[in-house]
Amino acid sequence: MARILLFTGKSGVGKTTVATARALSAAERGYKTVVLSTDAARSLADSLEWPLGPKPRGAKLEAGHPRITVAEGLEP
């Protein structure tokens, strides 16, 4: 069953931090995970240490390592 989790609240309360941690946790447990942000401040890119752009891209977790790597050739 698909789940959609929304993290909302005032500016500066940790929405991006919690969303990033939740997404990484789900991905580490084998769930297909999508993280979307509408924040113009690009804080999601900073949290993931991964440049974001206008086109969807696939990513994967390296086993035992919290870094994100780009997976080439994935369709949006």
Tell me: the pLDDT tens digits for 7-40?
998 988 888 888 888 888 888 888 888 887 777 7
Number of domains in the chain: 1
pTM over 0.85, yes/no: no
Q: Confirm if 56 and 76 have CB atoms less than 8 A apart.
A: yes
Please name which of 55, 51, 44, 42 lies closest in space to residue 69, comparing C-alpha atoms: 51
The Cα 15–Cα 7 span in angstroms is 6
**2 lies in some domain:** no
**7 lies in some domain:** no
**4 lies in some domain:** no
Q: Confirm if 58 and 70 have CB atoms less than 8 A apart.
A: yes
Q: In which band, very low, low, confident or very high, does the pLDDT at 66 lie, cut at 50, 70 and 90?
A: low
**54 lies in some domain:** yes
**63 lies in some domain:** yes
**6 lies in some domain:** no
Please name which of 52, 49, 72 lies closest in space to residue 60, comparing C-alpha atoms: 72
Residue 48 is part of which domain span? 15-71
